[in-house]
């Protein structure tokens, strides 16, 4: 079993000292539509029965909370703190430390989910490594579901999102700001600000994330290079009173 030191990575604060806020951010029910969407795509494209699912970059396990109703879940994440959140939430699932670009579990699954965590891949090589990892862990006829949180085509410059959460005497306001300082490169910034009120005391924490930002043809190119034929789907949500569309790809392993 790997340790955090063996991975030798510097993680954003949300995945280290601020990981405790994750269970307080968004209700579990908010992940139900996402999980239902993934399940629908998996059942539509997978050849044969689907029992097992590998969640690459599982984070705190909120999607798994719903997905485990239909699949036996194995989750992999690079953050020990997030894995602890996931284990507390889903004691009946298997969670393992690993880098989605290079982890090798030496077994195969009926389906692989690659969602939010792939946003941290900042060049085409890293994207390709993730899709190669997914293929390595898929049986023939199994399906990979890939979510592109942001593409250059859908990116909204300087977008700000505000939400609230809390519990057990803690109130938190979450502010997210997306910014692309150089449209010519393949990265953008996500700034998170946490306004935390706890036991009458105020603290403000900030956390800067570097994300990948690619044109949609780059996603399809790297998926194809890994040996898949991507089928594009849109996941439509209502967020803060506005409709948002997210691009997903369903990919069967031949």
The pLDDT mean for the chain works out to 95
Same domain, 164 and 205: yes
CA distance 193 to 203: 11
pLDDT digits (tens, 9 = 90+) for 47-91: 999 999 999 999 999 999 999 999 999 999 999 999 999 999 999
Q: Is the Cα torsion angle 20, 22, 24, 29 positive or negative in sign?
A: negative
Place of tokens 């079993």: 1
Q: Are residues 204 and 220 in the same domain?
A: no
Same domain, 126 and 241: yes
- Spatial separation of the C-alpha atoms in residues 73 and 75, rounded to whole Å: 6
What whole-number distance in Å separates Cα of residue 96 and Cα of residue 87? 10
Pair (56, 97) in one structural domain: yes
- Domain around 40: 4-152+215-252
Higher pLDDT, 1 or 157: 157
Within this chain, do residues 20 and 74 fall inside the same structural domain, yes or no? yes
Domains contained in the chain, number: 2
pLDDT, tens digit (0-9, with 9 covering 90-100), for 195-205 = 999 988 999 99
pLDDT tens, 169-192?
Answer: 999 999 999 999 999 999 999 999
Give the mean model confidence (pLDDT) for residues 88-102. 98
Distance between alpha carbon 126 and the CA centroid of its chain, in Å? 15
Task: Return the CATH number at 85.
Answer: 3.40.50.150
> For the chain, what percent of residues have pLDDT higher than 70?
95
Residues 35-58: what's their mean pLDDT?
Answer: 98
In this predicted model, what pLDDT tens digit does every residue of 127-142 receive, in sequence order? 999 999 999 999 999 9
pLDDT grade for 7, boundaries at 50, 70 and 90: low
**Are 22 and 117 contained in the same domain?**
yes
pLDDT of residue 251: 98
Is the pLDDT confidence value at 4 over 50?
no
Contacts of 170-176 with CB under 8 Å at 24 or more apart are 170/24, 170/196, 170/197, 170/198, 171/196, 171/197, 171/198, 172/21, 172/24, 172/25, 172/196, 172/197, 174/21, 174/25
> Is 13 a residue whose pLDDT tops 80?
yes
- pTM of the predicted structure, to 2 decimals: 0.94
Residues with Cβ within 8 Å of 182's Cβ and at least 6 positions away in sequence, in order, are: none
Do 169 and 148 share a structural domain? no
Whether 146 and 59 share a structural domain: yes
């Amino acid at each position: 079993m790997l340790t955090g030191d063996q991975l030798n990575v510097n993680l954003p604060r949300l995945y280290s000292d601020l990981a405790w806020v994750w269970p307080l951010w968004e209700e579990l029910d908010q992940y139900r539509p996402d999980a239902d969407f993934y399940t629908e795509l998996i059942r539509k494209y997978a050849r044969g029965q689907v029992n097992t699912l590998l969640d690459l970059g599982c984070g705190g396990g909120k999607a798994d909370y719903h997905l485990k109703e239909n699949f036996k879940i194995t989750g992999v994440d690079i953050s020990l703190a997030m894995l602890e959140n996931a284990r507390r939430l889903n004691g009946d699932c298997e969670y393992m430390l690993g880098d989605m670009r290079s982890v090798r579990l030496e077994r195969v699954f009926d389906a692989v989910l690659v969602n939010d965590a792939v946003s941290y891949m900042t060049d085409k090589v890293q994207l390709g490594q993730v899709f190669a990892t997914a293929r390595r862990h898929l049986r023939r006829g199994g399906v990979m579901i890939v979510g592109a949180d942001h593409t250059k085509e859908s990116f909204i410059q300087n977008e700000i999102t505000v939400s609230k959460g809390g519990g057990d005497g803690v109130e938190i306001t979450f502010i997210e700001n997306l910014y692309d300082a150089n449209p010519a490169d393949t990265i953008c910034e996500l700034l998170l600000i946490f306004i935390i009120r706890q036991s009458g005391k105020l603290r403000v924490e900030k956390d800067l994330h570097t994300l990948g930002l690619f044109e949609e043809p780059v996603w399809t190119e790297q998926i194809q290079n890994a040996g898949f034929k991507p089928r594009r789907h849109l996941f439509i949500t209502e967020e803060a009173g506005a409709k948002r569309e997210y691009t997903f790809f369903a990919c069967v392993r031949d």
